[in-house]
Structure 1
């Protein structure tokens, strides 16, 4: 079922975290933080929305890192109900796709809850002071790869890197709902 997150709550402060990554390290928000901004994205291994745009996510992450934007991806899905999203599968995907960012495991789902993550993919773009400036889509093409589609996420985070502010007009991302653990 497709879900869209709420639009950007400008200035909302990024919650801190400390999570294990597929590269064997543990990362806190301070380890991810870039000099000119930070992008935290919630993804997973099985979501057809994520799989359709993963090459573009990787491209944009590389390009944003070159602009001084720190990037990390977090998987918060319940691996019991969705085994394709378990930690070993995350490690395989990160290595096979040569992720240019840490891929973090939020097993307790506390980070997803703190961020208010709604779907995969869900993008949180922060300024240098960790105030939210972007909560929108990756690009205008959605799940279909259009050659000349506007790179909304990249352009927004480039603007954040240059001015400290994100665009006021943002289109929400669409994806599969976070797979929450049973209560």
Structure 2
């Protein structure tokens, strides 16, 4: 599966960091039922890997986030992830993910990182931290890198989602605004009307 397939018509990557399995499943079901997104579980500890494994067993695409080493790629694949996400660009992680058959979404924040990620075969890129980079960064990167497809991540919520999408983000990676009580419905409403 590719990100073109995963994110076609699904502009939300819901990031479930540190969320207990019952709550993660509740949020994931709401995201899946909306038809507007996929779910990512950052795998920074064994409990998070178990959460990923539990969600992956429900027949919907689930990715592993904060994948920073080839060893974590192996853990993600074994737990049922169908894609990997990283906060930065590490070519060893890119290769390990591709070798495992998992599309990889590397974090980028500079033109050089965008350039190197594209050369490594990653056309979907995580603009991180989007809250610091701002929508203008996306507009400016689209000029020299029109083939790049950005997922704006970090500091994104219902209050600014439309700004990032208008600036050219193909999808939004959203954590806090999704996991906060009452945070998901307003975000989904913005995505439905954008």
Same fold, judged at TM 0.5 (above): no
Q: Which of the five TM-score ranges fits, normalised by the shorter chain? A: 0.3 to 0.5
State the TM-score, normalized to the length of structure 1.
0.43
Higher relative contact order (CA 8 A, sep 6+): 1
- More helix, by proportion: 2
